[in-house]
Amino acid sequence: MNRKKILVSAYACNPTSSLQLHPGEDITGWRLVGQIRRFHDVSVITHSYNRDGVEKARAEGAYPDVHFHFLDLGRPAGLLYKIEFAQRIYYYLWQIAALRLARRLHRGERFDLAHHVTFGNDWLGSWIGAFLPVPYIHGPVGGGQRTPKPLLAEYTGYGRFAEMVRQSAQWVGRHDCVRKRCLGRAKAILVCNEETRLRIPAADRAKTFFFPVNGMSRDDLDLIDRSAASAGPAVGGTFRVLTAGRLHRLKGFALAVKAFGRLAERRPDSEFRIVGKGEEEAAILAAAREAGVEDKVKLIPWLPRTELLKTMASADVLLFPSFRDGGGAVVVEAMAAGKPVVVVDSGGPGSHIDPAWGIKVAPDTPEVTAGRLADALDRLASDPGLRDRLGRAARRRVEEFYLYDREGERMMEIYKFAWGEGKAPKA
């Protein structure tokens, strides 16, 4: 394959998995850029918050041939990012600035293709995709998933209002002429779950391809294997439940504590570790007190990704009842660690899990859902053989489908299709 010039728009692109946006988005941007550079010459437009992480990695020898261009909107506009409802406004304005920069770069580089990688959101179009006169790839994106209606009761009044505002903003975004033009010009649209595919206009849906926003590298697997080899057995036969992520209402961590509380009534020799940081910490601690398991629930401050992967090695199961994640990086990470995963069947986590390697429960009211999650945990706690079988199958699934090298090769098939040099890969 002749190397061509690719322009990547990756608002989030950071190997250190920062908390500025979403840690999973940062890793997705960084890893996919790494895959594209295997085959082509890459220039990346990314937000300035990624500079420290990117430059540190490059100083250690990573991606020496990639040209990074850091862009932000300055301090006044940056104040928008402190307001949850205004973050997408900032992102929209950033896309306009990214187009101006892309046009300047294109005059000198003459790119062969532009690819919007992150932010992975189906309802806000890319200005580069809409207006830069080169073949264009959009995604992988999510955003079509919504919190199941019965589980809205888990949110505070503010949380329900925020969800309503999000849905209203999505409606506006999906009717924006820039998004329509962006998707219309795209040679391929990569989506990470079925809910998002159904949000793509019918006229453009034939060029959608399923493409996960999460993956693992060979180095990740090696780190996990070394950690598993050194991990000791559970103290006194303790059943160890783990979850991790930004402590945000959509993750359902308070509901996870309720489910664990029911498990602990049946199995006092269990513990629950929650790795993360965020605004829901107080609600999680309150749920633990109400369930009478505050002595069994341990909150661990944010860990770098390498440390989290090591922590997974000593867990028995990952519980991740997120309500509307587009992807769910921690689910794939736990699968790679050979751990069975229990999820709510919604969005990306639901699409990752199959009964052959995990358990997903249908969403219902919080009480019913908590009971179903507790039953799933109890089933795994009572059957070490089942945990082992599901964990081994989960690891095989990662090696067959979620390795970044395999994802990169699939992406190149899509690039060839965009250039008219190959057949459309299987959707």
Give the H/E segment covering residue 223: helix 218-230
Average pLDDT for 114-140: 95
pLDDT class of 85 with cuts at 50, 70, 90: low
Asked if residue 19 has pLDDT above 60, the reply is: no
Give the phi and the psi of residue 274 in degrees, each rounded to 5.
-120, 115
pLDDT at site 88: 81
Instruction: Dump pLDDT digits (tens) for 221-230.
Output: 988 888 877 7
Asked if residue 188 has pLDDT above 80, the reply is: yes
What six digits make up the tokens of 107? 């005059």
Average pLDDT for 292-318: 89
pLDDT class of 83 with cuts at 50, 70, 90: confident
- The secondary structure of residue 211, as a DSSP letter, is -
Asked if residue 268 has pLDDT above 90, the reply is: yes
Instruction: Dump pLDDT digits (tens) for 322-331.
Output: 998 887 889 9
pLDDT at site 54: 95
**What are the domain boundaries of the chain?**
5-215+403-418, 218-401
CATH architecture of 218-401: 3-Layer(aba) Sandwich (3.40)
Asked if residue 305 has pLDDT above 80, the reply is: no
Instruction: Dump pLDDT digits (tens) for 88-99.
Output: 888 899 999 999
Give how far Cα 280 sits from Cα of 20, 80, 252, 277, 363, Å: 16, 21, 10, 8, 21
User: Mean of the per-residue pLDDT values for the chain?
Assistant: 91
Asked if residue 427 has pLDDT above 60, the reply is: no
- Answer yes or no: pTM beyond 0.95: no
Average pLDDT for 248-252: 91
What six digits make up the tokens of 182? 């962006």
* CATH number, domain 5-215+403-418, options 1.10.1060.10, 3.10.450.50, 3.90.76.10, 3.40.50.2000: 3.40.50.2000
Instruction: Dump pLDDT digits (tens) for 207-243.
Output: 999 998 888 888 889 888 888 777 655 555 799 999 9
Contacts of 150 (CB under 8 A, 6+ apart): 363, 364, 365, 366, 368, 369
Do you find a cis peptide bond into 39, omega within 30 degrees of 0? no
Average pLDDT for 353-357: 93
pLDDT at site 326: 80
Asked if residue 1 has pLDDT above 70, the reply is: no
Instruction: Dump pLDDT digits (tens) for 38-65.
Output: 999 999 999 999 999 999 999 999 999 9
Burial class of 284 by CB neighbour count within 10 A (0 to 12, 13 to 18, 19+): buried
Asked if residue 267 has pLDDT above 80, the reply is: yes
Task: State the amino acid at position 122 in one-letter form.
Answer: D
Asked if residue 28 has pLDDT above 90, the reply is: no
Asked if residue 165 has pLDDT above 90, the reply is: no
pLDDT at site 150: 93
Give the phi and the psi of residue 327 in degrees, each rounded to 5.
-120, -80
- What one-character-per-residue DSSP string does 66-114 give? -EEEEE--HHHHHGGGGSGGGHHHHHHHHHHHHHHHHHHHHHHH--SEE
Pairwise CA distance, residues 186 & 130, whole Å: 8
Grouping H, G, I as helix, E, B as strand and the rest as coil, residue 310 is: helix
Q: In this structure, is the dihedral angle defined by the CA atoms of residues 54, 57, 59 and 63, taken in order, positive or negative?
A: negative
Pairwise CA distance, residues 406 & 288, whole Å: 41
Neighbour-count burial for 59-78, b at 16+ CB within 10 Å, e otherwise = eeeebeebebebbbbeeeee
pLDDT at site 233: 56
Q: Which of 113-122, 217-226, 336-345, 404-413 has the lowest mean pLDDT?
A: 217-226
